[in-house]
Amino acid sequence: MKIYKDDNVFAKILRNEIPCKKVYEDDLVLCFHDINPEAKIHLLIIPKIKCVDFSDFISCATPLQVSLFFTTIKKIAEDILNLKESGYKLKTNNGKNAGQEVFHFHVHLTSN
Ligand code: AMP
């Protein structure tokens, strides 16, 4: 298991120490607007579990949490944002060499 650092920016958002433009929240998931959008819609979806990246999330979370997390992404994209027909992209950077800058697992949801 990787070492999770509590001073990362998404941990601060989860603790309400810094604000975010929230789109959706439940017991497991928080979704908010990326501060530096690269598309017309650019959201970040994070689990509330302390995990560093995708690989860490799959190792740490229960199968139910993993399933709920990805089901919730579908709900946000298709039921809340209504993007099923127009389409959307999901991306996660796993590790520094892949471009990851914030070390709390997150999925980018973008759509133009
Ligand atoms: P990554 O490179 O995959 O780790 O992506 C990190 C993302 O977090 C980038 O797209 C940043 O623009 C975004 N980001 C950084 N700080 C904040 C913040 N305070 N609120 C919202 N998004 C942020």
- Which pLDDT tens digit goes with each residue over 19-71? 999 999 999 999 999 999 999 999 999 999 999 999 999 999 999 999 999 99
Q: How many CB atoms lie within 10 A of CB 87?
A: 9
With 0-12 / 13-18 / 19 or more C-beta atoms within 10 angstroms meaning exposed / middle / buried, residue 99 is exposed
Take residue 42 and report the two structure tokens written for it: 């650019």
Q: Is the pLDDT of residue 1 over 80?
A: no
Tokens 């650092």 found at = 5
Q: Is 20 in the pocket of ligand 1 (CB under 6 A)?
A: yes
Gap between the Cα atoms of 55 and 89, Å rounded:
19
Output the CA 35–ligand 1 centroid distance in Å: 6
Adjacency order of strands within the sheet including 29-33: 22-25, 29-33, 41-47, 107-111, 89-91
Query: Which pLDDT does position 109 carry in this prediction?
Result: 98
Compute, in angstroms, the gap from residue 72 CA to the centroid of ligand 1. Answer: 20
8 Å CB contact between 28 and 65: yes
Integer Cα distance of 99 and 104 in angstroms: 13
Strands (E), the chain: 22-25, 29-33, 41-47, 89-91, 107-111
Q: What is the reported pTM?
A: 0.97
Closest-lying ligand 1 atom to the alpha carbon of residue 103? 4
Each residue of 67-102: pLDDT tens digit?
999 999 999 999 999 999 999 999 999 999 999 999
